[in-house]
Structures are given as C-alpha cells and as structure tokens.
Structure 1
Amino acid sequence: MKDLYIVGAGGCGREVLHIIKDIHRIQGPRWNIKGFLDDTENPLKGKECDYGVVGTIQGYQPKENDVLVMAIASPQAKQKLVPMLLERGAVFESVIHPYANLGEFNSFGQGMVIYPGFGMTVNIKVGNYVIMQSCSIGHDAVIGDYATISPYSHILGNAVISQGAFLGTNSVILPHTVVEDNAYVGAGSIVLRRVKAGTRVFGNPAREMDF
C-alpha cells in the first residue's frame, strides 16, 4: 500500500481528504494516508481534522513508496508546484469519488481529483492535474491541464476549457465556447462567447472586468 500525501491543507485539501476517506469506506483501504504538505503557517489552525501537516511542499523529497494528490484549487499554484515536484521524482495519484459518473468513451490525464456529484457524458477529453468538483460536462468537451471546475458549473457540448482556467461556482459555459488559457470565470457567470487568455469575466452574459 502506497503512502499518500495531500498537497495543500486548505479547504480544497480537507475536502480531498474527505473523498479519500469515502473511497476507503466504500471500496476498502487503498492508501496509507500520511497527512498534508503545506507551505503556509498553521493552515489547520482552528479546524477539526484527523490528519495534520507533516511537511512543506518546498521541502518535500519523494520516497520510493510515496504518492501525492494535488489538492490546491488555484490553477496558477498547480502550474508552479507540479513541475517542481515532478522534477524531484514525485508521483501523483488521481482521486475519484466512487459516486462520480464518468460516462463513456472519455479520456483522462493523470493527477485528477473528482468530487462526488460530478457527472460527464461521452467523448470528453480531460487533461492532467484537473480538479472537477460537483459539476457537469457535456459531450465532446475538452478540459485542459491544471484547470479547476467549481461546484454546480455546467460545461456544455463541444466547449473548450483551456490550460489553467478556473470556473467559479454555478458558471455556465455554452456549447462551442472557448475559455482560453489562465482565464477566470466568476461565480454565476454565463459564458456566451470566447473568453480571452488571462482575463477575468463576470456576469450574465459574462463580461471582462478588472479587480
């Protein structure tokens, strides 16, 4: 059994721990959970949690029996940390809740996290180090590396979510729409047209705004 470390002890990290424990309850033990890796000061202060921070991300050196799960929601943080850890020889696991609906004829990258309540249909391509919370994805959509899809978002048929994009809660991406690299779609937004790389859009219809 592999020793599993959760990268990030924030809210997303604690949710991922819950998913892992669900996997163990429903399907039987799969990993030896060691705890969190986190570079912030006292990330679990004031939080009830049955696992602690056992080291830093920057200081982590992989051991032969180790595996990691990337549990940081920020695409920018994932894009920075994953290559650094891979260069050291780290190995990432995908963590998929047993109650997620993975559809048919879909392709998946490595290091994914998929929450309960997630659903996808057919002929969808998902990249590496993607976090997909309780959202839905329609036919022929493409999800790029390092993207994060928040709860209750809906990605409709033939939409493209590019590398490093972030979709906020309750966002809707209409068919054939493209959200370009590192774009941010705010909560509750409805995307009717292409979202340019690196921009932040909000509203219905979604419009570019500076914050």
Structure 2
Amino acid sequence: MEKIWEGLPIVIFGIGGCAKEIKLLIEEINQHNKTNVFNFLGYVSNNVEDIGKKVDGYDVVASNYNFIEFSKQYPLLGVCIGLGDPTAKYKIYTSLLQNINNIVFPNLIHPNSFVPTHVNNNFGYGNVICSGVSITTNITLGNFVLLNRNCAVGHDSFIGDYCTINPLAVVSGNVKVDSLSLIGAGSSIKENLQIGAGSIVGLGAIIVKNVEENQVYMCKAAEARRVNNEQS
C-alpha cells in the first residue's frame, strides 16, 4: 500500500517562547494548504532531562546531545532553530548541525506575511518569516534569519546570517544588517545605513547613523523621563 504523505518530518530546536510561536507558524502553514507541508515531530532541548516532557502539547523528542542518533531514524529530516538569540543560533548550527547529511533547513514563511514572489528577492535557508511581516523588492536574507511578527524590511536591503528582527521593527531601504545582529522590537533604522556584525539595536531605538560591529544602541527615552520625574 502506498504510504500517505504526512508532510516533511520536522523538529524545532528550543523549548521557549520563540520555539512555541514557530510551532504555531508550522501549524498555520499546514492549515493554509490542501495537504500538510510539514509533519511536526516535537522539540529538541539543550537539556537531556527534558526529553519526554510536553511543550504546548508536543514532546521534547531529543536533546542536543543525542540528536545525531535521533536524526538517523529519518531519511530526510527538517530542522528549524527556534531561538531569537543570534549567537545561540550560530552555536547550534556550527557545533552540531552543519555536518549532518540527512537534514534540511526549510524556509518557514507564514501565509499572512507579505513576501512577493515575482520580484528579485534572494533567500538563504533556515529562515523564519512570521505573520504580518512585510518585505518589498531586492531583499537578500542570509541563513537562519528570524523576521518576527509585523516587522518590515525595505527595498534593496540585506539581512545577514543568524540575524533576528523583532516585532514591529522597521528596516528602511538600502540598509545592510550584518550577521549575528539583533534588532529590537519597535526600533527603526533609517535608509542607507549599515548595522555592523554582532550588534544590538535595543527596544524602540531610532538609528540615524551607521552602527559599528559589536555595539549596543539603546533607546534612552525611559531613562530620561525617570530622571526628569526625580528632579520635579
């Protein structure tokens, strides 16, 4: 008897909030299609003691330490790195995943995102594009980029490997965000700028000049308001 297609078997690395939201994204991709695109098996934790625990109704099926053996059960296994921290994504891929031959890293694109397919956009692998994300034209995404809910990326922009763009952030046109950078929720980056590798743009920050590598730019509005209140 011919086996019925149940979707690409897939696991998510991580058991926190980001991983749970990506599990929901996978479910919504399946619901949007006439047949399942993915067969979600469960989560992979950094802690071997978590194996067998339930997270949002699904098992933790493996840990980082036994994942290679777990993966051998499948001729082809999809993997998503369900973490928001760019450095954590980098460490998992380079220390564990990059040399496993039977795994693939699909791009997970929410059906309610605006991602034009008829223009010159170029995506790597392992990217996650959440609900409400809007991108335009000539966008380049590296690998393992997370575009979180309702963020926007303007024309001719580049987002490097392992970057995370958090909810409601706006990356204007002709912006280059180098690898391992984190763009905080509600922040804005002016057009024609570069964010250096490994940098953090904090919650609500407004960036109007280039950011050097490994820098942290934070919004100071809340701190200034607190100081003013103390002086009044």
TM-score under structure 2 length normalisation: 0.83
Q: Does 1:113 align with 2:128?
A: yes
Q: Which amino acid aligns with 1:60?
A: F
What amino acid is the match of 2:23?
L
1:9 paired residue among 15, 30, 35: 15
Contact persistence 2:51–2:61 (CA under 8 A)? no
1:129 touches 1:146 (CA, 8 Å); kept in 2? yes
> Could you say which structure has the higher helix fraction?
2
Matched to 1:184, the amino acid is I
Give ranges in structure 1 of 5+ residues lacking alignment.
Answer: 206-211
Give the match's secondary structure for 1:122.
Answer: coil
Q: Which is further off, 188-197 or 82-91?
A: 82-91
- Residue range with higher mean Cα deviation, 121-130 or 24-33: 24-33
What amino acid sits opposite 1:149 in the alignment? I
| Paired residues of 1:10 and 1:44 also in contact (CA < 8 A) | no
RMSD of aligned alpha carbons: 1.9
Q: CA deviation at 1:25?
A: 1.0
Q: How far is the alpha carbon of 1:198 from its aligned partner? A: 1.0
AA of the residue aligned to 1:148: T
Shift of 1:55: 0.8
- Aligned 1:39-188 pairs, distance under 5 A: 39-40=46-47, 42=50, 49-61=56-68, 62-63=71-72, 64-83=75-94, 84-89=96-101, 90-103=103-116, 104-134=119-149, 135-188=151-204
Q: Distance in 2 between matches of 1:169 and 1:58?
A: 33
| Deviations 1:25-56, CA, capped at 9 Å, x for gaps | 111311221100011465998x8612121111
Moved over 6 A (4+): none
Using the alignment, how far apart are the partners of 1:167 and 1:97 within structure 2? 20
Aligned residues: 204
Kept in 1: contact 2:171–2:189 (CA 8 A): yes
DSSP 3-state at the match of 1:105: coil
Conserved 8 A contact 1:10-1:43: no
What is the CA distance between 1:110 and its match in structure 2?
A: 0.5
Query: C-alpha offsets along residues 145-190 of structure 1, whole Å, 9 cap, x if unaligned?
Result: 1100000000001011100100010010110111110101100000
Measured after TM superposition, the shift of residue 204 of structure 1 is 6.3
Check 1:141–1:204 CA distance in 2 against 1; reply closer, same or farther (3 A cut).
Answer: farther
Q: What percent identity do the matched residue pairs reach?
A: 30
Cα distance in 2 for residues equivalent to 1:116 and 1:126? 17
Change (3 A) 1:6 1:100: same
Q: Would the alpha carbon gap of residues 68 and 48 (structure 1) be closer, same or farther in structure 2, given more than 3 Å must change?
A: closer
Contact 2:76–2:104, Cα closer than 8 Å, also in 1: no
**Which secondary structure state, in structure 2, belongs to the residue aligned with residue 203 of structure 1?**
coil
CA shift digits 1:118-152 (9 cap, x unpaired): 00011111111101012001111110011000000
Aligned partners of 2:55, 2:14: CA distance in 1, in Å? 16
Answer with 107-116 or 56-65: which moved more: 56-65
AA at the equivalent of 2:82? A
Q: Distance in 2 between matches of 1:67 and 1:167?
A: 27
Please point out which of 40, 43, 62 is paired with 1:33: 40
Q: Which residue of 1 aligns with 2:229?
A: none
1:19: Cα distance to partner? 0.3
Alpha-carbon distance in structure 1 between the residues aligned to 2:200 and 2:51: 25
Unaligned 5+ segments in structure 2 are 1-6, 222-232
